[in-house]
Chain A
Amino acid sequence: MALLARGELRSILQTQLPNVLDSRWDTQATDQVEAHGEGQTVLLDFDAVVKAEAIVEVAHFVRDTFGYDFLSNITAVDYLKQGLIELVYQFYNAAEGGPDLRVRVRIGRSPEECIVPSLTPTWPGADLQEREAYDMYGVVFPGHPNLARIYMWDEFKGFPMRKDFPKTGDKYTHVTGE
């Protein structure tokens, strides 16, 4: 049980769980290449980027091996230009304290690709956050006990936080009088 340094999880996973890392993101960010550049460099990262189907295994691994037992946060990011939805999982070591450990999953935006296994069976606290990612970004979580919309009404179709969701017009683009 120990805290991991920034970027350390990636090298640990390479030796201990060789098949979980997403090979598309092998290049680790360095201090020279900041993770806010143009194009693909925006996706360079210090954190481990794992395959979607391996997220449950990795989550259990960091919990059981290093004591990151508290799943503080799940959020989604839409990279429209790169055609990706990124899920960011933040784990916290309740016994040893911070900083938290981030694990990322990058999946395509199409319905066939936008699927990540649910962590709710192990961390019940993931329930509402996975529903939020589903409601706002359209990420589907197989294994979730009740994957319904959480903010929008059930009848609604579409995912408003996606970058290609329309945003049009203004109430006052009318002619008044005449």
Chain B
Amino acid sequence: MSDLQTQMDLEQQGVLFTTINKLYNWGRRSSVWPMQFGLACCAIEMIAAAASRYDISRFGSELFRASPRQADVMIVAGTVTKKMVPQVVRLFNQMPEPRYVISMGACATSGGPFRDGYNVVRGVDLYVPVDVYIPGCPPRPEALLHSLMTLQAQIDVQALQQVRWYGDDEGVVNEFPIPVFGAEGLEVAGIPGTADPVGGTPKMPPFVSPALGGKGERDASIKALEGNQPKPMLRAGTVTIEEVGHGIAG
């Protein structure tokens, strides 16, 4: 008689066996509370997933918390603009661990249809590590539920001694740098120059997904090509604030 058979027989008689790990993961996977936080049209699908037709509470995630301090998962639902990304990173930093990020839709994952625009971040994984990506524009509520189940499957295999926030591993990042507004784009601590220029290519690789073992480090296997530097801003024939502007106005 196998161990599993013994366990099932005993369960029929009302005796339950488990491990601390299993119990702990079961508790966490069944109460992944999202942060109440939507950026664009994906947020409408997120609302639909929370309403009765799709009913996200079947998975224990119906409590959309109004504070990052009480949330377990940040669903980045929508277009992340360069003006919004400091707030996104700040909110993520304020979440207690264990914490997860779901990048919902094409915009949050890669910039989507706006990636060549001057104002949209080319993937939120440049600023925070993402556990689950959802394709779609916008993804249907079922896709969001599937991403939640994927996240639960990731939680299921976690071992208490090895999760990144409980270990004393070197190099575990708990605080992600909040980008700062600069003259040519966003500046990020640790990245020389303008890390994410307006109208240019980001000079930094994305964070490794924690699902692939990332501990908050950027993907070193991605190397920028020569010539992948943003062009300098074309100032000839354009006005800068210094040249005209506040002096003339008013």
The digit string for B214-250, where 1 denotes a CB below 8 A from any CB of A, is 0000000111110010111111011111111110111
Residues in chain A near residue B199, CB distance under 8 A: 158, 160, 165-168
Query: Which range holds the interface residue count of chain A?
Result: 35 or more
Contact residue among A114, A167, A169 (Cβ-Cβ distance under 8 Å from B239): A114
Known: A173-B228, A174-B224. A142 touches B240 (CB 8 A): no
Interface SS majority for chain B: loop
| Closest residue of A by beta carbon distance from B224 | A174
Residues of A within 8 A of B234 (CB): 164-166
Q: Is B20 in contact with chain A by the CB < 8 A criterion? A: no
Beta-carbon contacts under 8 Å, B83-117 to A: 83, 110-111, 115-116
Asked if B233 contacts A155 (CB within 8 A), the reply is: no
Q: Which of B6-39 contact A (CB under 8 A)?
A: none
* B119, B231, B250 — most chain A CB neighbours (10 Å): B250
Question: Which residues in chain A, 123-178, are within 8 Å of chain B measured between CB atoms?
Answer: 138, 140-147, 151-160, 162, 164-171, 173-178
Q: Report how far A114 CA is from B200 CA in the complex, Å.
A: 26
Q: Is the CB of A166 within 8 A of B244?
A: no
What are the residues of chain B within 8 A of A153 when measuring CB–CB? 83, 181
Query: Given A111-B244, A160-B118, do A168 and B200 touch, yes or no (CB 8 Å)?
Result: yes
For residue B154, CB closer than 8 A to chain A, the reply is: no
Q: Is the CB of B250 within 8 A of A159?
A: no
Q: Is A30 an interface residue (CB 8 A)?
A: no
CA distance A171 to B183 in the complex (A): 21
B55, CB-defined interface residue at 8 Å: no
Contacts of A145 in B (CB 8 A): 250
| A44: Cβ under 8 A from any B Cβ | no
Interfacial chain A residues near B126, Cβ < 8 Å: 171
Which B residues lie at the A interface, using CB under 8 A?
83, 110-111, 115-116, 118-119, 122-123, 126, 181-184, 198-202, 205-206, 221-225, 228, 230-235, 237-246, 248-250
Which are the 3 A-B pairs with shortest beta-carbon distances? A169-B201, A147-B249, A138-B239
